[in-house]
Amino acid sequence: MAFIEDLVFQAIPDTPMYQFQPEVRRIVKPDAACISIDRVKEVLRIPLEDTTQDFALRLFLKAATLKLEETTTAIIMKSKFRQVMSGAPRVVELLTYPLISVDSVKVIANETNDTPVLVISSTYGIASETIFSRSVWPTHRDYKSFIIEYYAGFGNNATSSDADILAAQESVPEDLVLAVALYTGHLYENREGQDLEGRFESMYIRYGSMPPMVAELIEPYIRRSL
């Protein structure tokens, strides 16, 4: 209980935890989607030879994937991220998962020079979705000066060929792929977002205009923290 109280206290403004202010951005997009347009067409019962909807389907597929990643913080296909912080505890939790590898940790120590300085990889370790300093992190200035670049995603295979793309797609959990396909179909069929019903109001508040089955499929992948 004391540990939980400490965490709650540290999250209050003007305490160290509040000052960390982590932000994360995708800096390298995935090379392929987790499901092909032909498979999406099968879900939507669109004839494969009908290519008139392909452009729209790709847009909806991308939007569905991004929305599910935003909701869960689970990254579906391998992407590179940059997480910046104005301070760092000894153990830093990465804001997206599953972690594939940490590319670099850098700090900006000079108030007049924004050139990041590389932190030697032997001075920190990796455990689950966290990285930890083996002693203390190097001194750095406060404003977004602690920079982590890393790769995350379920589909973490190489994607340089069709066979590689298929292998990467097959490494994504099937329930997540199904959720993406169903949500793509939902956006395609209800592109005006007009199908909200009263009995789904509480779910709408939490997930937006997301079908109940999709919300159920992604529920296990939503990370919860204290």
Residues 6 or more apart in contact with residue 195 via CB below 8 angstroms: 209
Alpha helical stretches, state H, the chain: 2-10, 16-19, 37-44, 54-72, 162-170, 174-189, 201-207, 212-218
**Cα torsion for 76, 214, 55, 26, to the nearest 10°?**
-30
> Where is the domain boundary, 124, 152, 180?
152
101 shares its domain with 200: no
86 shares its domain with 148: yes
> Where is the domain boundary, 128, 152, 176?
152
For the chain, what is the domain count?
Answer: 2
Q: Is the pLDDT of residue 12 over 50?
A: no
pTM of the complete model beyond 0.85: no
Give the model confidence (pLDDT) of 111-147 as tens digits: 888 899 999 999 999 998 899 999 889 988 888 899 9
Judged by average pLDDT, the poorest of 16-20, 45-49, 177-181, 185-189 is: 16-20
Q: Is the pLDDT of residue 19 over 70?
A: no
In a domain, 2, yes or no: no
44 shares its domain with 144: no
> Where is the domain boundary, 152, 181, 202?
152
Burial 176-199 (b: 16+ CB within 10 A, else e): bbbbbbbbbbbbbeeeeeeeeeee
85 shares its domain with 98: yes
User: Structure tokens of 39?
Assistant: 């498979």
For residue 108, the enclosing domain spans 79-152
